[in-house]
Structures are given as structure tokens and as C-alpha cells.
Structure 1
Amino acid sequence: MSFTKTYTVKDEHIDVQNIMDGLYYPFYMEWCRHDFIREVLGFDFEEQAHKGVNMVLSEYSLKFVRSLKSGDEFTVSCELFGDAKGLPRLHFKQTITCKNKVMTTGMFTGTCISAGGRPYLPESILEKIAGQPVLE
């Protein structure tokens, strides 16, 4: 399952080196990932939080390849993987590309936590991710 969104670098995200500050790359990835989770998986963060269910990240890693500059139009992709060990985790492989070049790659892992604090995935998500490739 994959998903993409297109964005434009904002001037306020540019640092003194005239490139996008590194802290904004994961924000753009988050915006794409949240849209994917809401639009494709049907999980509304605000609605679920009111019910006591929070989707949270447990880890992520980024690799910076090239820098974005002010005004660059770029695409963020989000690809979903299940967990190879069958744990209640979702893995999102994400890439930022600009002019057909990879700028940044990332891997984000998350789960849901309810009031009890134990990780799990709601049945509605499990149904939608059945048969997805797993992250090795």
C-alpha cells in the first residue's frame, strides 16, 4: 500500500545555509503519513484520541541524501509494511523526492496505545493491512 503527497518548501523552513533545515523533513513525512493513515486506513487521530486510543511512533530513522531549497516542489511517499514478527506495529517507509532525485529516506514504526498502555492495532486497521508485505 503506497501513497504520495506533493508539497512546496516554505521560506520559513530555510536555514542560514539557504537549504531546508533538517528538522522539517520529518514534519513533511508526518503530514503525508497522517493523511495516509486517515485517508487509506480510516484512522482519525482526533476521533480515536477522544476514545482513548492513541497512535504513536516507537522509533524512526532518517537518511539525508540531498538538500531541498526554498520554493522546491517535492513529493513525499509513504509505503506501509506489516511486522515480520507479527508484533502490533506498522512500518512506514517514506521517501522525499524532488526532480526525480531522492532527497531523504526514512523508516517510521508505530503502534496504538489504549488506556491500559499495551501496544495493539485496532481490528479495523488489521483488516486493511492483511496481506501487506512485511518489513524484514
Structure 2
Amino acid sequence: MEYSKNYTAAGEHIDVQGIMDGLYYPFYMEECRHAYIKEVLGFDFVQQAENGVFMVLSEYSIKFIRSLKKDDNFDVTCAVFTDPSGLPKLHFKQSILKNGKIMASALFTGTCIPATGGRPYLPEELKANFTDASVLEIK
């Protein structure tokens, strides 16, 4: 299932060239991804942290295709994929679209770790909410 949220490029995120600074693209993607994780996957970051479970990123890559400008209205999408090697990782494919055109695309990879330290894992209650997710295809 692909999830989407709508945003407007904030003036304070615009650089001297009149385009959105590259550091804010992953910021908007994070906002959307966190909403997706809570609303669709049922993982509440605050509650889980209080229970000793931290969800963390292990890596990400982003491709910038077109620039956003001040007050541009855009959508951020998010979809989850499981790991092709069966590792305890979730992969989130995300895009930023303006008027149906891709402005940026990214792949974020995350996992959970115990707050006290230890090996990465995915809690069973989280796994139950993405049983129909596709396996990430590596190119």
C-alpha cells in the first residue's frame, strides 16, 4: 500500500538560489514516513521508546530530480518493503511529487533495536502489520 501526505514548501527551507535546500527533502520524507509507520504499521515511536524499543535508520539514499520552490504544494509518498535476504530490516521507498512529476526519490532502510543495546530485530506486533508487503527488488 502506498501512503501519501501533502505539504507546502516553507519559506525558511528555501536557500539563496530560491529553491528548497537539499537537507529538507529527507525532512519532509521523514514526516510522511513517521505518519505511515504510526497510522498504517501501528508503531508509535513514543510509546515504543517508553517500552524500550527504538526504531532507527541504518541507511538511506536520495535522488534529486527537480527543485521545489517557496510555497510549492507537493505530495510525499511512502511504501514499505521487506528485506530480500530476510534480515530484520524494513525498506521504505519514498517520492516527492509536484503536479504528478517526481521531484526526488529515496530509499530509507530501518530496523528496531532494544534501548538497552543488542541485535537488530522487528517486533512481532510490527511484523503482523506488513505481512502483505512486497520484497525489495535489488537492481
- What TM-score results when the alignment is normalised by the length of structure 1? 0.98
Between the two proteins, what is the percent identity of the paired residues? 62
What are the residue-to-residue correspondences of 1:1-136 with 2, within 5 Å? Answer: 1-114=1-114, 115-136=116-137
TM superposition outliers: structure 1 runs of 4+ over 6 Å: none
Does the 8 Å contact 2:42/2:129 carry over to 1? no
Deviation string, structure 1 residues 34-79 (Cα, Å, up to 9, x no partner): 0000000110001111111000000000000000000000000001
| Distance in 2 (alpha carbons) for counterparts of 1:135 and 1:118 | 22
Gapped regions of structure 1 (runs ≥ 5):
none
SS at match of 2:128: helix
| Distance in 2 (alpha carbons) for counterparts of 1:2 and 1:111 | 20
Amino acid at match of 1:11: G
| Distance in 2 (alpha carbons) for counterparts of 1:32 and 1:117 | 28
- What TM-score results when the alignment is normalised by the length of structure 2? 0.96
Does the 8 Å contact 2:73/2:98 carry over to 1? yes
| Distance in 2 (alpha carbons) for counterparts of 1:122 and 1:47 | 13
Does the 8 Å contact 2:79/2:92 carry over to 1? yes
Deviation (angstroms), 1:132: 1.4
Deviation string, structure 1 residues 93-124 (Cα, Å, up to 9, x no partner): 00000011100000000000012321000101
SS at match of 2:15: coil
| Distance in 2 (alpha carbons) for counterparts of 1:54 and 1:13 | 28
| Distance in 1 (alpha carbons) for counterparts of 2:133 and 2:51 | 27
Aligned length: 136
Amino acid at match of 1:120: Y
Report which stretch shifted further, 6-15 or 110-119.
110-119
| Distance in 1 (alpha carbons) for counterparts of 2:6 and 2:28 | 10
